[in-house]
Structures are given as structure tokens and as C-alpha cells.
Chain A
Amino acid sequence: MNLGQAFKIAIKSISAKKSRSILTMLGVIIGVAAVIVLVSYAQGQNLWMQEYYASMADNSIEIYAYSYNKDLSTPLYNYCLQLDDYVVGVTPTAQVWSTVLVRHGAKSLNSDDYENWDDRPEIVLGGQDYSICKAYTLTAGRDLSYLDIKNENQVCVLGSHMAELLFDYTNPVGKTISINSQPFEVVGVYESKDAAFSMGSLGYDKIILVPYTLNRTLNNNQSLDSFVIKAKDATSTKRAITLLSSFLEGAVGDYGYYSISTPDQWKEMGEEEQQVQQRFLGGIAAISLAVGGIGIMNIMLVTVTERTREIGIRKAIGAERRSIVAQFLIEACMLCGFGGLLGIVAGFVLTLIVGKQSFGIILIPNPGVTLGAVLISLALGVIFGLYPAIKASGLQPVDALRAE
């Protein structure tokens, strides 16, 4: 009895018992595919979250500083501009909170319109670096320029939703709108920021950006106490925060208040949330593997009696114990191995579909998880496939034949 013959007998046994073979493989296929898909899904969500938090963060720093007894905005702005080793953009920023009426032709939008929440314009004051600091990109026209700021030009850049509302998808660049009855020329339109991560809100796309030097006329000359800085990278962000803290500590002293925050904090929150989710999906993966494993176990154990009789017959006609164990081992390995392969294929296909449907990306399963799932299924299949062989091949043939 050599290995080739054991193979031959095992293959015969598999092909002769098609339904049993298919059911055994199904257990492995489902177990492996479920683990691959679920873990990949978790990873897809991870990627998506990371991207989301990156879009919120990407090395920007928000500063708020206020003093009772002096104007802080000019020295703070100048100080920020000095940090050009670490910083790629600086902009003062303020929102006009008083009621604003925006008109173009027959269309008008009111910033206090509570009935159309999503259609309320948000007038934002900013500098030429505003789009850099807040990660906007232009779809048409140009950004605010240094001269617009310096000359207090009445120009504006529209968020994509504002452009749609006021201009019905025609090109707004070069047209004039009125803000509180003052004429403003539209010089550019920002690309929609919310599309990728919209959760029903159009927040980012409702802005109308105007030069911050119009603070005096548009915003009752309130002090400009908020700034946004865009740092070069994570290290620069940290360095800039340190420098700004010590500068503001000195400048504000006991006569005011300041805060420096960075949406990178979001990222940390996101990462924590991610870990929780990862554990959750790891648990689901373990359960699906257990279910698949129980399926394998079940079909293997259900056939023990039948197989015990078969082993009795084989022994009666002269099979050695080791050739019976070899046959069952090869059978289990082939079934579970082939099942595992099909499981991988099914898992990959489903993962690609899920990645496309849920996240719009090409999702590839983790090779370590795939390998782990296959090995565990294989081990279960082999253990429970060998169980009757080891038990029954040790019996006297007549006892094995008597199995009921």
C-alpha cells in the first residue's frame, strides 16, 4: 500500500459520495468566504474612515485669540506669516452672523431662512490662503487674490451649492450678485467638498467667501480673532502649535483668552473608534468561522457510523490501519483544501463587490486573514475527518462491521 494507492482510493471515495463531499466543502467555503468578506469589510470601513478624518484634518490648525485691551489680530497674523518654515498657508477667518440677503436676478437667499436650512448662505471672511487652509479646490474662475484683499475689492468665491442655487448650473464667473444690496463680482467657484462624505449636510458648500478686509462694512468691524493655518506636515503641525502657544501666552497674558486646536484630534478619535470596530468585526469573523467549522464537524460526524462500517469492510479484506488513516487524511485534506480554495475565490469576488458597492473602492482581502481562515478550516476538516478513521481502524474488523 503506497501513497499513490491511498490517493486513488481517496479520490474514488470522494467522487463516489458526491453529496457528502459537496456538503463538507460547503462548510469550508462558507467559513472561509465569510471571514474574508467580513474582515475586508471592516478594513474597507477603516480606509473610508481614515479618508474621512484626513479630509477633516490634514494638518490644519485653528486659532482663536482674544484680548480685552489690545488688537491681537495684526501681530498674530504677522507672527503666523513668519512661520513659513512650517506653514503653507495662513488666513484670518470669520463668519458674518448678522442676517444677510443674497440676490442674483430674481433669486434671493436669506441667511436666516429657517424653512430651507440647506439653502442658507454662510458669508465667510477670509484671505487669499483660505482655500489652501480649508482644503477647497476651484472648479471655475480664480481664488481671492492678494490685491482683492489689499484693495478691499467687492469680489466673492461661491461654494458649489450656492453657485447651483443662484446660477442654475450656468457659469457664475464674471457675474455680479448682491450681498446686503452691495454688488459683488463672482470670481470663482469651489468644488463640492461634501459629496464624498455628505451626511445630509451641505455645510462646506454653502459658503460665500469674501475678502476679510471687508470686515468693516460687512461685519460691523468686529475684531478678527480666528485664524486657520495649514502646516506642511504632521511634524510641522506640532512645531507650529508649540511656537504659537508660547507666542500667544506672551501676547495675551492675563488680559484675554486663546485656544489652539487641530482637527487632527478628530483623527485620534477616529482611530479609537476604528479599533472598537475592528474588534467587533473580528468577533463576527470568529463566529462565522465557528459556524462553518461546526458545519464541517457535523457532516463529518454524521457519517461516522457509515464510515465505521466501511472501515470494517476495508479491514476485513486486508487494509492495514495506516492505509485507512492515510486514505481518510488525504480525503479530508483534498475536500477541505479544495473547499478552502473555492472559499478564497468566493471571498475575493464578494470582497470586490462589497468594496465597490459600499465604499466605491477596490478592496483586496488581507492575506494573513485569508491564510488564517483557510488553515483553521483545514485543521477542523482534518481533525473531524480523521476522527472516525482513527477510532474505527483500531477496532477488530467484526466490531467495526457491527457499527450502528
Chain B
Amino acid sequence: MLIEARDLYKIYHEGEQSEVRALNGVSLSIDHGEFVAIIGASGSGKSTLMNILGCLDIPTYGDYHLGGVDITERSDRQLARIRNRQIGFIFQGFNLIPALSAYENVELPLIYQGVSLFKREDMVQQALEKVALADRAEHRPAEMSGGQQQRVAIARAIATKPPIIMADEPTGALDSKTGQHVLEILHQLHSEGATVLLITHDNGIAATAERIIRMLDGGIVYDGPREGVQL
């Protein structure tokens, strides 16, 4: 198994009156090469789950193994390495660095990985071509449309060729046409062997996934093939 999570809890203000259980004992496992859509209402815990799976956050309780490695025991350095090489994260709000050009944004994870300048140029170029933005390399985020910015974010996520792509409502801030384009890119990455986890509100997008996880109030209420759920 690539991803193996057991009894994940994320509890804010634990023990106080205002205690919130964003995750309330979630277990799941995901294999190499799957395309999984996580759906559910706002506040159901989808993003919290994905942030923990993406090593952007830590669970209050529970076990998480990524590629057989226990994540909860890792140091800051080791987590940084995992985020850099294992996972490409795509956010709803793009999270590009506004002062840097598209090229520089995509280059950043490669710099942190320590890739040499020569190889870096190639890899950035490849990533930008994959999202059809090679001609926008010198533009800053503010000079691009939302769809273009999200494609830059995807290029950044795939620049280090990570085996896992996690996307938290990647089309949420885009119109349906550009959203469709972004979805196509994710499917293409999947067909090339990547494992894709996708959070979405959009039933049409969820319908293109092989496997659906539905969440409610911090727990999983459905986990199975697309065919078994009423979208």
C-alpha cells in the first residue's frame, strides 16, 4: 500500500468546551496508481484529511504510513524531503509566490531538492510544457488568468516528478471550461502512473474518478468504486 492511515484524529481545543473534532477516527488505504475523489459538505473534514495525508499537518492521534514509512515519527527535515519528492500538492487558491515568475515558481521545489542548474532548466521546461504554459514562463502570477495560475501550480507540483498528486479543490476557483482543462491534466498524470487524490465539490468531476470517498462530520461514510455511490 502507498498510503495507509489508521484511526486519524484531528482535534482542536481538546478537552475544552469548544472542542472541535475535524477528523474523528479516519482509516483508509490507497494503492499505487489509484485516482481517488474525496467528496463531502464543507466542514466534513476533507481538507483536514488531505493536509495530513500531504504532510502539511500532523494528526492529533493516529498512525500514518506513506510508502511503508511511519510519518508521525519523522523530523522536520525528513518531512520536508517527503513533501518535496513524494507529494505534489495543488491548492484551491494556487499559493504561488506572487513576486516570482511562473518559471521561478516551478523551479523552486527543484532548487530545494538540490537539482543542478542545467538539469533544472530541462525539468522546469518539461513541467511547463505538460500544462501548455511554456510561452508564459516569464509572467508573474498577477499577469495570468486563474486557469493559467492553477496550471503553473500544477507544473510546480509535478516538477520533481512525485508519485502522488494531491489536489484540494483545484477547480474550485475556476470556471467550468478551465476547470475541465485542469481535470484533463490530472487524468493525464494519472494515466502516466501517478496516484491522484482529489477533493471536489463538483459531482461531475467526482464522477470521473475510479474511487470515491465521501466524508461527513469528520468520518468516512462511503469508500468504494464510483458505481456504488449516488452522486
Known A-B contacts A12-B100, A313-B95, A397-B56; the reply to A1 vs B83 at CB < 8 A is no
Known A-B contacts A17-B99, A314-B108; the reply to A5 vs B114 at CB < 8 A is yes
Q: In the docked arrangement, what's the CA distance between A75 and B189, Å?
A: 117
How close is B78's CB to chain A, nearest CB, in angstroms?
10
Contact A310 B112, beta carbon cutoff 8 Å: no
Q: In the docked arrangement, what's the CA distance between A309 and B97, Å?
A: 9
Which chain B residues in 90-125 approach chain A with CB under 8 Å? 91, 95-97, 99-100, 104, 108-109, 111-114
Question: With an 8 A cutoff between CB atoms, is A233 at the interface?
Answer: no
How close is B50's CB to chain A, nearest CB, in angstroms?
10
Question: With an 8 A cutoff between CB atoms, is B64 at the interface?
Answer: no
How close is A21's CB to chain B, nearest CB, in angstroms?
10
Question: With an 8 A cutoff between CB atoms, is A103 at the interface?
Answer: no
Which chain A residues in 1-42 approach chain B with CB under 8 Å? 1-2, 5, 8-9, 12-13, 16-17
Among A17, A320, A401, chain B packs the most CB atoms within 10 A around the CB of A320
Contact A320 B77, beta carbon cutoff 8 Å: yes
How close is B27's CB to chain A, nearest CB, in angstroms?
21
Question: With an 8 A cutoff between CB atoms, is A215 at the interface?
Answer: no
Question: With an 8 A cutoff between CB atoms, is A398 at the interface?
Answer: yes
Question: With an 8 A cutoff between CB atoms, is A315 at the interface?
Answer: yes
Question: With an 8 A cutoff between CB atoms, is B81 at the interface?
Answer: yes
Contact A398 B108, beta carbon cutoff 8 Å: no
Residues of A within 8 Å of B, CB-based: how many?
A: 27
Question: With an 8 A cutoff between CB atoms, is B137 at the interface?
Answer: no
Q: In the docked arrangement, what's the CA distance between A316 and B104, Å?
A: 16
Nearest B residue to A323 by beta-carbon distance?
A: B112
Nearest B residue to A306 by beta-carbon distance?
A: B98
Which A residues are CB-close (under 8 A) to B14? none
Q: In the docked arrangement, what's the CA distance between A184 and B54, Å?
A: 109
Nearest A residue to B52 by beta-carbon distance?
A: A398
Contact A321 B111, beta carbon cutoff 8 Å: no
How close is A166's CB to chain B, nearest CB, in angstroms?
78
Known A-B contacts A5-B114, A313-B97; the reply to A319 vs B56 at CB < 8 A is no
Contact A319 B112, beta carbon cutoff 8 Å: yes
Cross-chain pair count, CB within 8 angstroms: 75
Contact A315 B57, beta carbon cutoff 8 Å: no
Nearest A residue to B58 by beta-carbon distance?
A: A396
Which B residues are CB-close (under 8 A) to A8? 111
Contact B89 A5, beta carbon cutoff 8 Å: no
Question: With an 8 A cutoff between CB atoms, is B44 at the interface?
Answer: no
Known A-B contacts A12-B100, A310-B97, A316-B95; the reply to A1 vs B112 at CB < 8 A is yes
Contact A318 B95, beta carbon cutoff 8 Å: no
* Interchain CB contact (< 8 A) of B83 among A2, A9, A315, A323: A315
Among A16, A310, A397, A401, chain B packs the most CB atoms within 10 A around the CB of A397
Q: In the docked arrangement, what's the CA distance between A314 and B83, Å?
A: 10
Contact B57 A9, beta carbon cutoff 8 Å: no
Among A1, A5, A317, A320, chain B packs the most CB atoms within 10 A around the CB of A317
Contact A318 B57, beta carbon cutoff 8 Å: no
Among B80, B89, B97, chain A packs the most CB atoms within 10 A around the CB of B80
Which B residues are CB-close (under 8 A) to A312? 95
Nearest B residue to A319 by beta-carbon distance?
A: B112
Which B residues are CB-close (under 8 A) to A320? 76-77, 80-81, 112
How close is B89's CB to chain A, nearest CB, in angstroms?
6
Contact A315 B114, beta carbon cutoff 8 Å: no
Question: With an 8 A cutoff between CB atoms, is B200 at the interface?
Answer: no
Question: With an 8 A cutoff between CB atoms, is B156 at the interface?
Answer: yes
Known A-B contacts A5-B111, A397-B57, A401-B95; the reply to A316 vs B89 at CB < 8 A is yes
Closest 3 CB pairs of A and B: A318-B84, A16-B99, A320-B80
A-B pairs with beta carbons under 8 Å apart, 11 shown:
A5-B111, A5-B114, A13-B99, A310-B97, A316-B54, A316-B89, A317-B89, A320-B76, A396-B56, A397-B57, A398-B57
Known: A312-B95, A317-B157. 12 other contacts (CB 8 A): A1-B111, A5-B112, A16-B99, A17-B99, A315-B80, A316-B83, A318-B84, A318-B160, A319-B84, A396-B58, A398-B56, A401-B95
